[in-house]
Amino acid sequence: MSNMICTVNPLTGETLARYQQDDIETVRGTIDRTAAQYTAWCRTPFPERAALFNRLAERLRAHADEYARIMALEMGKPVREGRAEIEKCAWVCEYYATHAARFLADVPVDTGARKSYVTYRPMGVVLAVMPWNFPFWQVFRCAVPTMMAGNTMLLKHASNVSGCARAIASLFLESGAPDHLFSLLVISADRVAEVIAHPAVRAVTLTGGTPAGRAVAAEAGRHLKKVVLELGGSDPYIVLADADLDESVSKCIAGRMLNAGQSCIAAKRLIVVRSILDIFTHRLIDGMSRITWGDPMAPDTGIGPLARRELRDELHEQVTESVRCGARLRLGGEIHPGPGALYPPTVLDNVQPGMPACDEELFGPVAVIIPAETTEDALHLANQSSFGLGGAVFTADTNQGEQLARDAMEVGCCFVNDFVRSDPRLLFGGIKNSGFGRELGIHGIHEFVNIKTVYVR
């Protein structure tokens, strides 16, 4: 069975499906056909590209319930969150259908020549190595701008969401995409290197953990291929003394608990100044205790199970080790009996540097409260992390909040008085161990193009 990929329901532990991996010849043939399709797609006018992605948006909305159900079964996302994820995919399709031509328009440069300008030309075949936590959005987030720019795409999706991967590939064909404009590779992670090495693959984008990012970056570097990495995060949310407590607690819970906390940009470290620490903690525990958890198919479920049992067990070990190091368990923190991967909403306070809850990424529904003495202390705690994806500041003084967000927080995106989230209109990406390169906005569509100078004397 080593050549099979299995998907498992994380609520019940039952096997959902088994998929045969593509053999070497099938992988090579898929890459070759995707490269052949590029020669036609790169010459396709922008209005025709836009028409395809507008049709994709229509079909996504028409089948939102179906796709949400697949996500719920394969990785435990509540169906209401799944429907919201599909709507976001439709939004990014329409956004780039509207704006791609303008984003990629030639830029004149005055050099004294008769004509000189910068132009943006597609590169070829781009490989996307995508994670399971947002199994539709992560794919569309990178695929739409990349393909609107004139590239074709290969998808190697996370094995535990193989049903989602197949649904996405079918969606392109059902929306009228040419064969092998968007191609699915059914392979395990240890075979990504052979795809990167193929001469027709010109670039790689990966969303996932930092170890996977290092491996893919090393392989891409070996073959001198462009790579964009969106990796892990341990996002700090600084709550200052003058913050609106009700609003900041609400936003911190929303930022921590979306997708059962399984998000790179979740609110993973709540750094709270000591003068409001007790009341903030009390209100946070109260709010977290009200979250319903269980069957992701139920309409009133707040969070479903984690995506896999081993991920649940790893999270629980991080929680228990932090408690052994002196953190206080204020809510949850107990493994739910049964075959699935349920884990309750959990709160740790008195968390300090040196504990897993402070130094590592906790990928699950665990709110971590870290005390700070002053604004400067809070900023120091926020920036000492090896990650640098997102962050937030809560304060009544929006000028101070903006200054901290703009000049002081060592992250790729920082929000003031709100939780961090991606938006097609804004660039997205991190620094330090959270990766490099950008997605979304105008910057995202420029990542996988040949930015070329043309000079006419």
DSSP line for 328-358: EEEE---PPSSSS-----EEEES--TTSHHH
Best CA proximity match to 285, nearest among 235, 244, 328, 318: 328
Paired tokens of 137: 């959005």
For the residues 53-70, what does the mean pLDDT come to?
Answer: 98
**What does the buried/exposed string (b/e) look like for 352-382 if buried means 16 or more CB atoms within 10 Å of the residue's CB?**
eeebbbbbbbbbbbbbbbbbbeebeebbebb
Going from N- to C-terminal start, the domains of the chain cover 4-231+434-456, 235-423
For the residues 191-216, what does the mean pLDDT come to?
Answer: 97
Report the mean per-residue pLDDT for the chain: 97
Distance (Å) of CA 222 to CA 76, 122, 215:
37, 22, 11
Paired tokens of 387: 């990650």
pLDDT digits (tens, 9 = 90+) for 298-352: 999 999 999 999 999 999 999 999 999 999 999 999 998 889 999 999 999 999 9
Q: What percent of the chain has pLDDT over 90?
A: 99
What pLDDT score does 1 carry? 43
Contact 166, 184 (CB under 8 A): yes
- Protein fold of 4-231+434-456: Aldehyde Dehydrogenase; Chain A, domain 1 (3.40.605)
What pLDDT score does 10 carry? 98
- 66 is annotated as an active-site residue: no
Paired tokens of 134: 């947002």
Q: How far apart are the first and last CA of the chain?
A: 63
- 264 is annotated as an active-site residue: yes
The packing angle between helices 245-257 and 277-289, to 10°, is: 50
Residue 152 parent element (H or E)? strand 152-156
352: region left, alpha or beta (phi > 0 left; psi from -120 to 50 alpha): beta
**Do the domains 4-231+434-456 and 235-423 sit in the same CATH topology, yes or no?**
no
CATH number listed for the domain at residues 235-423:
3.40.309.10
Contact 201, 225 (CB under 8 A): yes
Helix/strand/coil for 439: strand
Contact 124, 35 (CB under 8 A): yes
The packing angle between helices 137-148 and 46-62, to 10°, is: 160
Task: Please tell me the distance from the alpha carbon of residue 230 to that of residue 430, in angstroms, as a whole number.
Answer: 7
Backbone angles phi, psi at 157, to 5 degrees: -90, 165
Among residues 89, 142, 164, 264, which one is catalytic?
Answer: 264
Paired tokens of 203: 């670039």
Contact 19, 4 (CB under 8 A): yes
For residue 361, the one-letter residue type is: E
Distance (Å) of CA 356 to CA 268, 363, 405:
12, 12, 25
Confidence of residue 108 (pLDDT cuts 50, 70, 90): very high
pLDDT digits (tens, 9 = 90+) for 234-266: 999 999 999 999 999 999 999 999 999 999 999
- Does residue 223 register a pLDDT over 60? yes
Q: How many CB atoms lie within 10 A of CB 7?
A: 23
- Does residue 2 register a pLDDT over 70? no
Contact 307, 82 (CB under 8 A): no
pLDDT digits (tens, 9 = 90+) for 144-179: 999 999 999 999 999 999 999 999 999 999 999 999
Among residues 74, 85, 230, 439, which one is catalytic?
Answer: 230
- Does residue 181 register a pLDDT over 80? yes
Who's near 116: CB < 8 A, 6+ residues apart? 108, 109, 110, 453, 454, 455, 456
For the residues 354-383, what does the mean pLDDT come to?
Answer: 98
DSSP character string of 189-249: GGGHHHHHTSTTEEEEEEES-HHHHHHHHHHHHHTT-EEEEE----EEEEE-TTS-HHHHH
